[in-house]
Amino acid sequence: MKKAIKLLTISSVLLTLLVVGLVFLQLRSVPAAAESSSPIAETQKEPALPDAASIVSSFLQAVQQGDLAAASQLTANCTLSSPGESVFSQAARDCFSWTIQGTEEVTVSVTWLNLPELVDAAAEQVPDQLKIIADGASSPNELYDASRNYLPEVKEQAWEAALAAVLADCEPYIHCDLIRVETDHGLVVMNDELYRAITCGDFGAEHE
């Protein structure tokens, strides 16, 4: 009888220990589950910035499209404003091209039209164009005002003819520069060489 009671007591103790053990394990599993579901903040990292080559490419695409306002938003230290659409704008876009070397350390080979040089060349041709117009005029009244100065429309005609001649053969005024371009926090850092290229020789654009 005593032996049976003893066995029963041992069984009760073992059962009690088993229940306590199960409860203990359940209590330990609760924080673990909470821990496994809580580190969401650790996985929510800031989105990575594009590489430098992509940033520079987006900037140059905006320049080529003639959207200097959009290009300005992609620069860290420069505000550009376009002089507006003109025959120069189209010529500049036609000549503008680039290739990018590198991903993080970027060097750009930029081909661009130097408009101040082109305008100077056109101005040199104006006297020749005036002579051509004068040779074809049937009367001095078609050329001069009362003070013997060329009429405004004649000078305008000579200028347009000179400009057209220079634009038809603008290769001497096309430059190709190799420019190192840096970026900062996802924006292009403007330098003098890059500014000169994208504004076609600082032609008509303003910057700060």
Q: Largest Cα–Cα distance in the chain? A: 148
In a domain, 3, yes or no: no
Which phi-psi region, left, alpha or beta, contains residue 36 (left: φ > 0; alpha: ψ -120 to 50)?
A: alpha
**Residue 62 covered by a domain:** yes
Share the mean pLDDT of the chain: 80
Cα pseudo-dihedral 44, 46, 47, 49, rounded to 10 = -160
Q: What percent of the chain has pLDDT over 90?
A: 56
| Domain assignment of residue 110, yes or no | yes
Which pLDDT belongs to residue 187?
A: 95
Could you count the other beta carbons within 10 Å of the beta carbon of residue 50?
13
pLDDT digits (tens, 9 = 90+) for 148-177: 999 999 999 999 999 999 999 999 999 999
DSSP readout, 6-23? HHHHHHHHHHHHHHHHHH
Look at residue 58 and tell me if it is in a domain. Answer: yes
Q: Evaluate the CA torsion angle 57, 60, 64, 65 in order and state its sign.
A: positive
Give residue-wise pLDDT tens across range 10-24. 445 444 444 444 444
Give the structural domain span for 179.
51-208
Q: Is residue 80 part of a domain?
A: yes
CB contact at 8 A, 55 and 32? no
Question: How far is 132 from 15, CA to CA, in rounded Å?
Answer: 118
Angle made by CA atoms 64, 67, 73, in degrees to the nearest 5: 110
- The pTM of this model reads 0.70
pLDDT score of 49 more than 70: no
Establish if 44 belongs to a structural domain.
no
State residue 75's pLDDT score.
Answer: 94
How many structural domains does the chain have?
1
H or E stretch at 108: strand 106-113
Residue 188 in any domain: the answer is: yes
Domain-embedded: residue 1: no
The pair of three-digit structure tokens given for residue 33, joined into one six-digit string: 């589950």
